[in-house]
Amino acid sequence: MTLPPLTILLAAPRGFCAGVDRAIQIVERALARYGAPVYVRHEIVHNRYVVSQLEAKGAIFVDELDDVPDDVPVVFSAHGVPKSVPAEASRRKLFYVDATCPLVSKVHREAERHERTGRHMLLIGHAGHPEVVGTMGQVPDGSITLIETVADAERVEVADPGAVALITQTTLSVDDTAEIIAVLRRRFPELQSPKQEDICYATTNRQQAVKAIAPEADALLVIGAPNSSNSNRLVEVAKNAGCTRAVLVQRAVDIDWKALEGVRTLGLTAGASAPETLVEEVIAACRDHFTVELRDVVVTRENVEFKLPRVLVA
């Protein structure tokens, strides 16, 4: 039986970013240096496959420091944590390693600077996301107002419109954020913004790659976790760019093959916390149903690397 043809447009860049790669290395090096178990507060990155691989090596993932015994190493996730978390770890004399992505740490430093200079901050982000919780936890309560939508931007009020600053979650949709920022700048002409937008290079690059393949694709798969902000934004970007049949899948087993009947061109990408192994798994599964031709669509090449904490390098 002859399988139907399928051209897979493989977006590049895709998958792991430098911050995710660094965070995973931190857990692996901590296990190698200190032995199992190494505790990790929250998922180190939002990907169940990655978490399971690290659990198999001896990492134990917990929700809060209360779940961490004394005298064991603990790692904080790539999304960042409120200041209260390392403070509590220090109080308990826990040895901890902070795996916060350096680009998230940059936002934390911006928040501290704005708070010191008396500016109220408007944070564009998603309520309850670990990165947002961590950023808001860098400064006293009431210093930041969360903005999730254009409607929020239209109605937000601040005590002093002349002393207001903008910060953003790093994993948002560039286009959606631009719309919210435009409203805030119209309403607050003296709004202080970062010299470079807080949305990280990897988020931007992956969204640009999806925009490049979406118009040609009959359907598009984004490999990523349901709780991964950047992966969910890739689905939205694909739909806005013309591929209405864009869906998020965690693994090949999650693919709805009936929904792909009649598809001749499939876009494929992976969120910043999804390993290339899962991309290869999906391609292999496609070969069971189609005669596959791969076509790489490269919008840029990344060469960013972040240094590991000195305590794990010395």
Find the length of the chain.
314
Alpha-carbon gap, residue 214 to 227, rounded angstroms: 22
CA–CA dist 304, 159 (Å, integer): 40
> Residue for token digits 């408007």?
122
d(CA 41, CA 75): 6
Residues recognised as catalytic: 131
CA atoms within 13 A on the CB side of 136: 18
Burial 145-163 (b: 16+ CB within 10 A, else e): ebbeeeebbeebebeeeee
Residues 6+ apart with CB under 8 A from 90: none
Q: Is residue 220 a contact partner of residue 268, using CB atoms and an 8 Å limit?
A: yes
